[in-house]
Amino acid sequence: MAYSLGIDASTQSVSAIVIDLDDGRVVYDHSINFGEALPQYEAPNGFFQGSEDGEVFSNPTMWLEALDLLLAQLSKECDLTKIKCLSGAGQQHGSVYLNHTWFDAVSNLSPQASLAEQLKACTSRPVAPIWMDTSTEKECQEIAQALGGDHIICEKSGSVTTERFTGPQIRRFYKHSLEAYLNTNRIHLVSSFIGSIFAGCDAPVDTGDGAGMNLMNLKNFDWDSQLLNATAPDLKDKLPKIVLGNHRIGPIAPYFVKKYGFDPQTEVTVFTGDNPSSLVGTGGSSEGKVVISLGTSDTYFAAMPKIVSDPNGYGHVFGNPSGKTMSLQCFLNGSLAREAVKDRFNYSWDQFTEAIKETPAGCNGNYMLPFFSPEISPRYSGSTPVLKGSPAFQNWEHPQEAIRACVEGQFLNMQLHTEWMAMQPKSIYLTGGASENDMIAQVVADVFQCTVERLAVTGSVALGAAMRAAEN
């Protein structure tokens, strides 16, 4: 009997799924929620705001603590000697800044101490900017200008310069904290940072996640020297190599063998971004399938045989871990916007679901533009949703209508802003935390006029990681 392990280092939690390679059965599925397990980091949803407008950070040390908690739990409930391979995925675009001590530290992790204790001192920046950060408008303009316009950046990298993407984030760090930038010897994505720890070496970035940086050229899947030069000096030396999604890094680090009981032969496959991993986990990596992931963000994505870009500049082309490319549209106002409406009325998820059920489709002519924080698809800088309809609806006096209008507004906006992909799906694969909600799934089916399919597990990111490792 052989198992494969998939790790998902996401915004709000870190999760593990173990599958049995003989029959594909999920034998273990568990998450450590950062806010619940580690409240001392004061990041109830896994992130916190910075002191300047639009800055959103997480704490890499918190991720490491959570990872040790997850593995301790896993080792109690699963025979780790059966795990023969593993891979993982991380929230996309987030970056971890490391000093010269990182290379030795990650290669010589001692089982006597925790990951957090051993790696905390390796960071040249205590915080990691994540995908929710919108503070880099100026840096985006500067990079676009240096290359002769956003259309050139889009042609090279698959996206116009985008605030949350790693390149503009690195430029901001370089401009605002020059000394710390100069003390940075490696910049990892969340995926390659966690992948490095599992492999016990400085690991590469894959093309799926690497494409979310505005630094990789899609034509040769390598760093683009013009993009690098426009972003920050000597950047190439600070970045890992880029490899395809089927790259094997090597065997698992002795830390995990000695501390938790993994088989020393356990093979580690390069980690990728959460959305590319989910594409694999839902079986969407071959052409023609559309996946909607309802996590902290809502995303709509599909494998793409040829590169098509969004004329509005909101959408993206990433590498597909199974080869070629995928298209993706990300909506920042996903689960946290639904939660904001639910919490406004002190509702449970059951009451939220009932409210959608009890209110007719079309919401009695009431509409909501459900942007509770700045949105990226389309760009919207306010933090107040817009309500149009009856006076009582506009005054938030009808919880049932407000809830349905929020969900309908989200998916009508999604339909409008994914038209550029010209996918016309017959069936949509729904995944992520909110996909277990039957009424949200029904609204998706109604808006897109197609059937909706769901997996037995909501964690298609971790599942995709376990499948990628197994297929390799």
Residue ranges that bind ligand ADP, judged by CB under 6 A: 10-13, 295-296, 335, 338-339, 349, 432-434, 436-437, 440
* Residue 408, token pair as written in the block: 């309908």
Among ligand XUL, ligand ADP, none, partner that 410 touches (CB below 5 to 8 angstroms by kind): none
Q: Which residues pair with 452 in a beta bridge?
A: 428
* Shortest Å, Cβ 244 to ligand XUL: 20
Q: Kindly tell me which residue out of 15, 214, 275, 458 binds ligand XUL, with binding defined by CB under 6 A.
A: 275
Asked if 92 interacts with ligand XUL (CB under 6 A), we say: yes
Question: If contact means CB under 5 to 8 A according to the sort of partner, which of ligand XUL, ligand ADP, none does residue 115 touch?
Answer: none
Which DSSP string corresponds to 158-212? SS---TTSHHHHHHHHHHH-HHHHHT--EEEEHHHHHHHHHHTS-PPEEHHHHGG
370 binds, among ligand ADP, ligand XUL, none (CB under 5 to 8 A by kind): none
**Smallest distance from ligand ADP to CB 410, Å:** 12
Return the residue matching tokens 């790693």: 166
By the 10 Å C-beta count (0-12 exposed, 13-18 middle, 19+ buried), 252 is classed as: buried
- CB–CB of 271/85 below 8 Å? no
Q: Which of ligand ADP, ligand XUL, none does 411 bind, CB closer than 5 to 8 A by kind?
A: none
Cα 319 to Cα 208: distance, rounded to the nearest angstrom: 4
Cβ of residue 346: shortest distance to ligand XUL, in angstroms? 27
| 192 scored as a contact of ligand XUL (CB under 6 A) | no
Distance CA 61, CA 110 (A): 17
The nearest distance, CB 461 to ligand ADP, in angstroms, is: 7
Residue 112, CA distances (Å) to 64, 122, 259 in order: 15, 18, 8
Angle subtended at Cα 375 by Cα 435 and Cα 372, rounded to the nearest 5 degrees: 75
Binding-site residue total for ligand XUL (CB under 6 A)? 16
Edge-first strand order for the sheet with 56-58 is 48-49, 56-58, 128-129
Cβ burial of 129 (10 Å; 0-12, 13-18, 19+) is buried
With binding defined as CB under 6 A, does residue 167 bind ligand XUL?
A: no
User: Binder to ligand XUL among 252, 279, 330, 406 (CB under 6 A)?
Assistant: 330
Q: Which does 186 bind (CB under 5 to 8 A by kind): ligand ADP, ligand XUL, none?
A: none
- φ/ψ region of 24 (left if φ > 0, alpha if ψ in -120 to 50, else beta) reads left
297 binds ligand XUL (CB under 6 A): yes
Three-state SS for 209? helix
Closest-by-Cβ residue to ligand ADP is 433
CB of 111 to ligand ADP, least distance (A): 29
Least spacing, CB of residue 326 vs ligand ADP, in Å = 18
Q: Which does 434 bind (CB under 5 to 8 A by kind): ligand ADP, ligand XUL, none?
A: ligand ADP
Cβ within 8 Å of residue 397, ≥6 positions away: none
Residue 252 tokens read as: 């698992």
Q: Which is nearer to ligand XUL, 82 or 164 (CB)?
A: 164
Q: Report which of 159, 161, 277 is spatially closest to residue 209, judged by C-alpha positions.
A: 277
- Among 297, 254, 290, CA closest to 273: 297
Nearest-approach distance from CB 47 to ligand XUL, in angstroms? 11
Nearer to ligand ADP, 10 or 118 (CB): 10
Considering the rule CB under 6 A, would residue 31 count as an interface residue with ligand XUL?
no
- What are the structure tokens assigned to 291, written together? 């996946």
Cβ nearer to ligand ADP, comparing 102 with 352: 352
The residues that touch ligand XUL, with contacts defined as CB under 6 A, are 11, 91-93, 131, 164, 212, 273-275, 295-297, 299, 328, 330
